[in-house]
Amino acid sequence: MSRFFTTGSDSESESSLSGEELVTKPVGGNYGKQPLLLSEDEEDTKRVVRSAKDKRFEELTNLIRTIRNAMKIRDVTKCLEEFELLGKAYGKAKSIVDKEGVPRFYIRILADLEDYLNELWEDKEGKKKMNKNNAKALSTLRQKIRKYNRDFESHITSYKQNPEQSADEDAEKNEEDSEGSSDEDEDEDGVSAATFLKKKSEAPSGESRKFLKKMDDEDEDSEDSEDDEDWDTGSTSSDSDSEEEEGKQTALASRFLKKAPTTDEDKKAAEKKREDKAKKKHDRKSKRLDEEEEDNEGGEWERVRGGVPLVKKPKMFAKGTEITHAVVIKKLNEILQARGKKGTDRAAQIELLQLLVQIAAENNLGEGVIVKIKFNIIASLYDYNPNLATYMKPEMWGKCLDCINELMDILFANPNIFVGENILEESENLHNADQPLRVRGCILTLVERMDEEFTKIMQNTDPHSQEYVEHLKDEAQVCAIIERVQRYLEEKGTTEEVCRIYLLRILHTYYKFDYKAHQRQLTPPEGSSKSEQDQAENEGEDSAVLMERLCKYIYAKDRTDRIRTCAILCHIYHHALHSRWYQARDLMLMSHLQDNIQHADPPVQILYNRTMVQLGICAFRQGLTKDAHNALLDIQSSGRAKELLGQGLLLRSLQERNQEQEKVERRRQVPFHLHINLELLECVYLVSAMLLEIPYMAAHESDARRRMISKQFHHQLRVGERQPLLGPPESMREHVVAASKAMKMGDWKTCHSFIINEKMNGKVWDLFPEADKVRTMLVRKIQEESLRTYLFTYSSVYDSISMETLSDMFELDLPTVHSIISKMIINEELMASLDQPTQTVVMHRTEPTAQQNLALQLAEKLGSLVENNERVFDHKQGTYGGYFRDQKDGYRKNEGYMRRGGYRQQQSQTAY
C-alpha cells in the first residue's frame, strides 16, 4: 500500500506530517505514533515492516513534493538541491525500479521540472529579477536535467503524449493498494478513527477518482499551483476524499468547490492549510519544537486530538477480553517498548499508562501490578523532556509529585511488597498473593531524580518572580516525600540506600536556619511545663539533632567517599549557620578536607566553597576577625566569588568557554534560595580585613618589607584614593574605605558611623540572624583596633599618656585599655612601660626615626651586596682550580684577606 496515500488520508497524523514534510524526512516518524494511538497489535507489526519498494518510493515522493514546493515559490536553488537528492534516491531505488519499471510519478516530475525550467529560462524579465544564486542554480539545473532526462527520453515522450493515462495508472495503483489494506482492516472491528478514515478513503469508486485525476491533470499545465496543493498538503486531498465518500455524486462539485470551502470539513481543511503554511514559515528547522507546540496548541488541534482517547479507551483491551495480570503486563510491556523511540508521543504514553493503572485498579489486579505501572509512569514523566537542560512543566511536576506520593502510600500500606533494582524482571512476583510481592524498580532513584528535577526547575525560574515563590512552596512537598522515603528505606533499604536518602535529606536541611530552635535557645526554660508544651507543638527534632543523627550514620556506614564528603560539608555548614563556630571548625580540621578537596568533582567543590564562606561568616559573627579573614581569603582574593559559589556565571569568561561547557556550568548553579549574599560576604571580608590591616599598616609604616595582609582590601583603598572627588560613601565598599580612613587616624567614632548606619544595616548587617549582637561586637572591635592604631601612629609624639584619657577617648573601660596596651608591650609592638600608680603609659622612644630606619635598611642592603660580591670573588678563585685550595688559603692568610675567615671558608665550601 502506498505510504503516501495513507498519510494523506490520515487526518490525525497530519500535524506531525506537516512538520516532517518540510524537513523532507521519511514519514516513518508517523509510524511509531500511529500504532500507539491505535494500539492494534496486528497492524502494528504489519506496518512497521514495509517493503523495500514502499520505502524507496516514499522517499522519492517526499523529495518530489519538496521540489514542487520549491518550484512554486520559484526557489531554484532549493530545486537544484532536491533534484540532486532525488537523483541519488533514484539511484538507490534502482534495483526496485528495474523490477517494477520506472514509476510514473518520477517521470512526471522530470517532465514537469523540465517544462518549468524552460519556462523560467524563456522568461527574460523574471530572470533578471532573480537573485544571483537562483540564476546560477537555474542554469546548472537546466543543464543537469537535460542530461538526466536523456536517459528517460522514451518515458517522458510517452508521458507527454498521454499524460492522463499515466496518471490513471498511478491512481489505479493507489487504489489497489488501499483496497489491499482495507481488506485487512475489515478483519478487525474497525472502530479506530484511523481505520475508519481509511475505510472511507477506500470507498470512492474508481470512476470518480479517475475522473478527478483527469481533471487534475488537465489543469496541471495551466494551474500548476493547484496541483501542488494536491501534492504538498495531504490534508486537502484526504478531506476531499472523505467527503467524496459521503456523497459520491457531489464529488465533482466539491472538487471544484475546494477553493471556496462551504462545508465544515472544507473549512477545517482550509484552516489547516493556512496553519500549515504559517508553520512552514516559522519553524522549518525545529521539528521537535513543532511537536511540542502542537501538544500545547489549543482549539482546532485539541479537538482533533480529543477524539483519540475516547476511541482508545475501549480499544485498550478488546471488548470482552478478560483482564488478567498477564494481559495487563503484556500491554504494559508493549507500551514501554515504544518508550525512548523517536517520534513516540510521550504525553500519550503517560496517559495510556495512567489508563492502564485505572483498569488495573478497577479489576483488582493487586498492588503489585499497580506499583509496577506507577514506577513506569514516573519514569516516563521524567522521560517526557528529551533534553537534559530543559526542566519539567509545572503540571508534569505536580503529576510527578502526586504519583510518587501515591506510590509511597501503596508501599506503606502493603509492607509485603518488595521493591528493588536488583530484582530481575523474570523473578518479579506481581500477583501471587501467597508469596511476598516483588517488583522491580528503585524508589530511591526516582526520588533522587525528583530532587534533580526540582533543582532544575528552581534553576530555570526567575528568582525574583512570584513563580519562584510558587515553586519554592513545592519544596515542602519534596521534603515530605524524602522524609517518607527515608522512613520506608530505614525499614527496608540497605545501608547504602539509607546513606543516599540521608544525604538527600541533609541536602534539604543544611542550609535552612532553624528559627524554632533558635527561639527556644533564646528563651531559657522558665516555666518549664509551658515550654515543654511548646516544644511538643514544635516539630519533634531540632535540625541540629537531626543533622547530627543523619551525618553520624553516614560517617559510620558510608563507603563511597563522595556521600561522606558532602555530609561533612553540610554538617559544617549547618554548624556554622547556627553559630557553633568551634564545632564547625573542629569538624573542618578533622576532616582534612582542605588538603584534598581539589580532587573532588565541581559540585562538591562548590559545596566546599559555600561551607568555607559560611564558616568565615560564622567566625565573623563570633568576633574572630582573623579566622573570618583567613576563611574568606581564598574565595575573595580570586575575584570570582560568584562563580566559585555556583551563584552565576561570569561574563568575562563567557568567550573562553564554548557552548557545551557553559551548559555544564549552568547545570551546576546553585538554586537561588540557597545563595549566600555576595555583598554580605564581601562586606564581612573587607571589614575583617580592615580590622586587621589598619593597625598593621600603622605599626609597620616605615618598614620597607611589610607585606599586605589583604590584597583586595588594598585594592579598594587605592580605588578610593584615586577618586578625584570624594563624596559621601554610597556603596558598601565606599563605606568600608571611608571607615578605614577614619580608623587610620584613630577616629573610631567616624569609623563606627561609616560601618554601622542605616544604609549598611539595610545592605548587610540586618541579614544576620542576630544582627544586634553582631553590631555590638563590631563596635567593640572597632574601638579596640582604633585604640591600637592610635597608639601605633601617635606614640612618637607622646612622652607619656594617661590610660584614663585613652579610655575616655575610645569609650572602653580601663581594664580593657590596660589589657590591650599590655598585650602590645608584650608583643614588642609598643616600646613603652606602664606606670601603675599614675595609670599612665610611658613611652621609651626607642623607635628609630625615618632616617635611621632608612640608614638601617641601607646597611642591610649593602651587607647583602658585599656578600654577593664576595661570592663572585670566590668564584673566580674557584675556577682557577679546586686543586690548589690549601695553597690559596695560605695565600689568603698571608695577604690578610681573612677578615671573616671562618665564615668565608664555610661559604666557599658550600658554594661547591
Q: What residue has cell string 556506614?
A: 557
Q: Which residue stretch of 86-94, 588-596, 620-628, 863-871 sits at the interface with another protein (rule: CB under 8 A)?
A: 863-871
Q: Max alpha carbon distance in the chain (Å)? A: 138
- Which listed residue (494, 523, 869, 906) binds another protein by CB under 8 A? 869
677 vs 853, beta carbon nearer another protein: 853
Beta carbon of residue 829, minimum distance to another protein (angstroms, whole number): 24
Compute the residue count for the chain: 912
Beta carbon of residue 877, minimum distance to another protein (angstroms, whole number): 11
Closest to 488 in 3D by CA, of 553, 597, 414:
414
Please state, in angstroms and rounded to a whole number, the distance separating the CA atoms of residues 78 and 68: 10
Please report whether residue 655 would count as binding another protein according to CB under 8 A: no
Q: Which residue stretch of 262-270, 327-335, 838-846, 871-879 sits at the interface with another protein (rule: CB under 8 A)?
A: 871-879
73 vs 862, beta carbon nearer another protein: 862
Q: Which residue stretch of 131-139, 296-304, 320-328, 861-869 sits at the interface with another protein (rule: CB under 8 A)?
A: 861-869
Q: Which residue stretch of 150-158, 229-237, 748-756, 864-872 sits at the interface with another protein (rule: CB under 8 A)?
A: 864-872
Q: Which residues of 759-784 are buried (b: 16+ CB within 10 A; e: fewer)?
A: bbeebbbebbeeeeebbebbbebbbb
Please report whether residue 598 would count as binding another protein according to CB under 8 A: no
Which sign, positive or negative, has the C-alpha torsion 168, 170, 171, 175?
positive
Closest to 835 in 3D by CA, of 792, 800, 793:
800
CA distances from 413 to 361, 371, 409, 441, 445 (A): 15, 12, 6, 18, 21
Residues 801-860 that bind another protein (CB under 8 A): 849-851, 854-855, 857-858
Q: Which residue stretch of 499-507, 513-521, 642-650, 866-874 sits at the interface with another protein (rule: CB under 8 A)?
A: 866-874
- Which listed residue (876, 894, 895, 899) binds another protein by CB under 8 A? 876
Closest to 387 in 3D by CA, of 453, 338, 447:
453
494 vs 849, beta carbon nearer another protein: 849
Beta carbon of residue 872, minimum distance to another protein (angstroms, whole number): 5
Contact 414, 491 (CB under 8 A): no
Please report whether residue 877 would count as binding another protein according to CB under 8 A: no
Which sign, positive or negative, has the C-alpha torsion 213, 215, 219, 225?
negative
Beta carbon of residue 826, minimum distance to another protein (angstroms, whole number): 32
- Which listed residue (161, 296, 879, 894) binds another protein by CB under 8 A? 879
- DSSP lists the bridge partners of residue 418 as 438
Closest to 343 in 3D by CA, of 748, 20, 685:
20
814 vs 854, beta carbon nearer another protein: 854
Please report whether residue 28 would count as binding another protein according to CB under 8 A: no
776 vs 868, beta carbon nearer another protein: 868
CA distances from 54 to 4, 43, 75, 106 (A): 9, 16, 29, 14
879 vs 910, beta carbon nearer another protein: 879
Closest to 215 in 3D by CA, of 252, 243, 161:
252
Please report whether residue 864 would count as binding another protein according to CB under 8 A: yes
Beta carbon of residue 869, minimum distance to another protein (angstroms, whole number): 6
- Which listed residue (541, 626, 865, 906) binds another protein by CB under 8 A? 865
CA 787 to chain centre: 52
651 vs 850, beta carbon nearer another protein: 850
364 vs 864, beta carbon nearer another protein: 864
Please state, in angstroms and rounded to a whole number, the distance separating the CA atoms of residues 706 and 688: 19
- Cell of residue 360, nine digits: 488495573
Please report whether residue 875 would count as binding another protein according to CB under 8 A: yes
Q: Which residues contact 689 (CB under 8 A, 6 or more apart)?
A: 629, 709, 710, 712, 713
388 vs 858, beta carbon nearer another protein: 858
- Which listed residue (284, 861, 893, 900) binds another protein by CB under 8 A? 861
Beta carbon of residue 878, minimum distance to another protein (angstroms, whole number): 7
Please state, in angstroms and rounded to a whole number, the distance separating the CA atoms of residues 384 and 340: 10
Please report whether residue 871 would count as binding another protein according to CB under 8 A: yes
Beta carbon of residue 654, minimum distance to another protein (angstroms, whole number): 33
- Cell of residue 284, nine digits: 522549518
Beta carbon of residue 884, minimum distance to another protein (angstroms, whole number): 15
651 vs 872, beta carbon nearer another protein: 872
Number of residues that bind another protein (CB under 8 A): 19
CA 810 to chain centre: 54
Beta carbon of residue 281, minimum distance to another protein (angstroms, whole number): 54
Tell me if residue 592 falls in helix, strand or coil: coil
Please state, in angstroms and rounded to a whole number, the distance separating the CA atoms of residues 379 and 636: 43
Beta carbon of residue 288, minimum distance to another protein (angstroms, whole number): 57
Please report whether residue 427 would count as binding another protein according to CB under 8 A: no
Residues that bind another protein (CB under 8 A): 849-851, 854-855, 857-858, 861-862, 864-865, 868-869, 871-872, 875-876, 878-879
